[in-house]
Chain A
């Protein structure tokens, strides 16, 4: 594939000579051949001329769900990766949210094979415990050898503290990354939404911030004892940000992410009992949103994940108590982050985090493989989920204004553009 990107503004803060500059880019056989102020069109190169085209390194998301195997009606790997590529992503970390759950090397191999030949790279996570039951460690070393990038019992807390201790110790032999979902299930009880004024008014069982913070405090104590590295996906409260900040100050090797929706929505939106807003951890309060944004700005929070979770309509168009948790979000990552932080910080967040998961960093320079996100940071568009490329349409971003527009991506020698 040979491409000629015309008048693209490059966004790459790590490269001061190119950052913010308008350049023409030639891509030959999937590699960046030439970056220059002005290049002439060359025959045999497809010319890409898009309004206010901006280009950055391809984006990374540390927590995405599809449905294959087991829930193909939600999303297949192939279509999921197409949605990711069209949304600017070059690498995604796949949550172990399948049936069966990936707890052995053969599962990891299967996932990687199903994803081969796609524009966006899929990096699987394995479960931390066998069948994610929280009883015995899965074969972490074996899974890592075939490509598992981290170990996570997806959104299932490790209730046995000793098991987390063992996992953190054991994974150090091969530099494995253990993930722990921040929720104390006993405090959570049957809670569905944030405990607060809204849950009280709606008669919905609440999950206090305490449930998340208690688990994080416990995990950090264990990490301090064991050493090793811990990742805490999708923190959602102001108290959690404080706990992580203190742990980092102490020098603990801990990272964490926040889900995109926790940066732009609060539990007030639940007043109509709309199941599209049922997510876990639950939507919290304006105070939490403010603290999470600040945590990202000052580096306490390492990553933003879309927490993309396709759920088919049969599990959403039912009573609130019975509906499944989650929302699709890959298509909204840039629009939301660009609106909150502006394009430079948004791109910085979208290109951050590969190193933590031992995933190769793309480069934006001549001779490098072309791994690029294509977008226009200007303009406001209302997100219409009916036009989503995702198989499932469960979106809490429905009808939300998005700032800027993603054109698509170039990766693995493929160009994916939104219609």
Chain B
């Protein structure tokens, strides 16, 4: 049986194209499973997984937990708000304490870039990065590519534009790595203040005009502005941001083709995307959520098979 090239999923830049193909093939199977009347398989009955979230999360955490439970893993949840972290405990101590309760795998979200890599070097468990600061969010990028593949047949050769706050976005970075690895053409679009100066070194183009970006692309992935990560204002007002980088039905209809609209959530309706776009036939936002469970089942299953 094929195996992943890695023992942890820390970021897309640490895996290869074969890994992505394997994850997608496995996810195809699990997507069929979660659409059965009995949505659960007994595969990981002897595996215990800790979901450790040092940052708020609703959908990612739920999605992981659901994926773990549908694989019949034992699940423990931990969030920093209720923990000893607030009392000054270090990350290594926190995680080692949890691991000493015989946990096999850790799904971690953390506000600091590289936290998953740091942890993987100091603790004895398989680590899945569920988002580390502005670094990576690999399962989100995988489910995004999987959704494109599902809709368009293949990711290779497709034009994808990522719109919004690129500077603070782990979703943007992981998507860029994943899309480039699969042969897609990628552009980023947003105010210049929210686009890293050296982004083109990752092999992507920069477009500051949303209309031109939409005319170019097959897929538009709309990101949320991450106000919580900003130290100063990168644009004068939400109103002005929306005027330039918000997508609405009128704009979408003016484009001479049917592009696919994606969003990793949570959506700020009326800011980066209006309701009539988010809820339109061109939107695959809810498919992304469903695919998220299948992708995470695949990742957990494949990493667990390396533990055994």
Q: Which of B222-263 contact A (CB under 8 A)?
A: 231-232
Say yes or no for A208: interface residue by CB 8 A criterion.
Answer: yes
B residues 84-122 touching A (CB-CB < 8 Å): 90-92, 110-115, 117-118, 122
Whether the Cβ atoms of B112 and A201 lie closer than 8 Å is no
Q: Are A203 and B198 in contact (CB under 8 A)?
A: no
Give Cα distance in the complex from A317 to B118, angstroms: 9
**Cα-based distance from A189 to B229 in the complex (angstroms):** 12
Q: Which residue of B lies closest to A205 (CB)?
A: B134
**Cα(A205)–Cα(B170), bound, Å:** 12
With A190-B231, A195-B198, A196-B198 given, is the CB distance from A202 to B135 under 8 Å? yes
Residues of A within 8 A of B231 (CB): 189-190
Residue of B nearest to A273 (CB): B114
Tell me which residues across on chain B come within 8 A of A322, comparing CB atoms: 112
Q: Which of B171-214 contact A (CB under 8 A)?
A: 173, 196-199, 201-202
Asked if A200 is at the interface (CB within 8 A of a chain B CB), the reply is yes
CB <8 Å contact, B118 and A273: yes
A203 and B110 CA atoms in complex are apart in Å by: 13
- Interface of chain A residues 158 through 203 with chain B (CB within 8 A): 189-190, 195-197, 199-203
Q: Check: B269 CB closer than 8 A to any chain A CB.
A: no
Contacts of B115 in A (CB 8 A): 319-320
Residues from chain B with a CB closer than 8 A to the CB of A203 are 113, 132-136, 170, 173
CB-based contact B198/A319 at 8 Å: no
Complex Cα distance A57/B172, Å? 56
Q: How far, in whole Å, are A190 and B173 apart by their CA atoms in the complex?
A: 19
The count of residues in chain A whose C-beta lies closer than 8 Å to any C-beta of chain B is 23
A321 close to chain B: CB less than 8 A: yes
Write out the residue numbers on chain B whose beta carbons fall within 8 Å of the beta carbon of A208: 197
**Residues A200 and B199 in contact in the complex (CB < 8 Å), given A273-B114, A319-B118, A320-B118:** yes
Contact of B13 with A201 in the complex, beta carbons under 8 Å = yes
One of A195, A202, A319 near B91 (C-beta < 8 A): A319
A203-B133, A321-B133 in contact; A273/B198 too (CB < 8 A)?
no
Q: Which residues of A contact B134 (CB under 8 A)?
A: 203-205
Asked if residues A204 and B135 are in contact (CB atoms below 8 Å), the reply is yes
- The answer to whether B202 touches A200 (Cβ under 8 A) is yes
Which chain B residues border A273 with CB–CB below 8 Å? 113-114, 117-118
Residues of chain B contacted by A1 (CB below 8 angstroms): none
How many contacts between A and B, using CB within 8 angstroms?
70
How distant is the Cα of A69 from the Cα of B170 in the complex, in angstroms?
Answer: 41
Contact A319 B201 (CB under 8 A): no
- How far does the alpha carbon of A208 sit from the alpha carbon of B198 in the complex, in Å? 11
CA distance A330 to B201 in the complex (A): 36
Interface of chain A residues 94 through 135 with chain B (CB within 8 A): none
Most buried by A among B91, B115, B122, B198: B198
The answer to whether A40 has its CB under 8 Å from any CB of chain B is no
Residue interface mask B37-76, A partner, CB < 8 A = 1 = 0000000000000000000000000000000000000000
Return the contact of B112 from the options A195, A197, A200, A321 (Cβ within 8 A).
A321
A276 to chain B, nearest CB (A): 12
Most B C-beta atoms less than 10 A away, residue of A196, A202, A319, A321: A319
> Could you mark each residue 244-273 of chain A with 1 if its beta carbon is under 8 Å from any beta carbon of chain B, else 0?
000000000000000000000000000011
Whether A318 is near chain B, meaning CB under 8 Å from some CB there, is: yes
Whether A202 and B197, one on each chain, are in contact in the complex, defined by CB atoms closer than 8 angstroms, is no
Residues of chain B with a CB closer than 8 A to A204's CB: 113-114, 134-135
A residues in contact with B173, CB < 8 Å: 201, 203
Report chain B residues within 8 Å CB of A320. Answer: 112-115, 118
Per the bound structure, the CA–CA distance linking A321 and B110 in Å amounts to: 11
Q: Bound state CA distance, A319 and B115, in angstroms? A: 6
B residues near A199, Cβ cutoff 8 Å? 196, 198
Chain B residues within 8 Å of A317, by CB:
90, 92, 122
**B199-A319 in contact (CB<8A):** no
Residues of B within 8 A of A196 (CB): 198, 201
Asked whether A202 and B201 contact (CB < 8 A) given A318-B90, A318-B91, A321-B133, the answer is no
Distance A273 CA – B112 CA, assembled complex (angstroms): 11
Q: Hey, which chain A residues are within 8 Å of B111, CB to CB?
A: 321
Instruction: Tell me which residues across on chain A come within 8 A of B122, comparing CB atoms.
Output: 317
Which residue of chain B lies nearest to A322 when distances are taken between CB atoms in the complex?
A: B112
Task: Collect the chain A residues with CB atoms within 8 Å of residue B135's CB.
Answer: 202-204
Assuming the contacts A189-B231, A203-B136, A204-B135, asked whether A319 and B197 have C-beta atoms less than 8 A apart, the reply is no
Closest to B232 in A: A189
**Closest CB-CB distance, B232 to chain A, in whole Å?**
8
B198 adjacent to A200 (CB under 8 Å): yes
Beta-carbon nearest neighbor of A189 in chain B: B231
Shortest CB distance A359–B (Å): 41
Name the CB-closest residue of B to A210. B197
Min C-beta distance of A282 to chain B, whole Å? 14
- B170 surroundings in chain A (CB, below 8 A): 203
CB nearest to B197 among chain A residues = A195
Contacts of A195 in B (CB 8 A): 197-198
Task: State the 10 A-B residue pairs at the shortest beta-carbon distance, nearest first.
Answer: A273-B114, A203-B135, A203-B134, A321-B112, A197-B201, A319-B112, A203-B113, A200-B198, A320-B114, A200-B196
7 A-B contacts (beta carbon < 8 Å) = A196-B201, A200-B202, A201-B201, A201-B202, A202-B135, A317-B122, A319-B118
Given contacts A196-B201, A319-B112, 18 further A-B contacts (CB under 8 A): A197-B201, A199-B196, A200-B201, A200-B202, A201-B173, A201-B202, A202-B113, A202-B135, A203-B113, A203-B133, A206-B197, A273-B114, A318-B118, A319-B115, A320-B112, A320-B113, A321-B111, A322-B112
What is the interface of chain B, defined by CB distance below 8 A to chain A?
A: 13, 90-92, 110-115, 117-118, 122, 132-136, 170, 173, 196-199, 201-202, 231-232
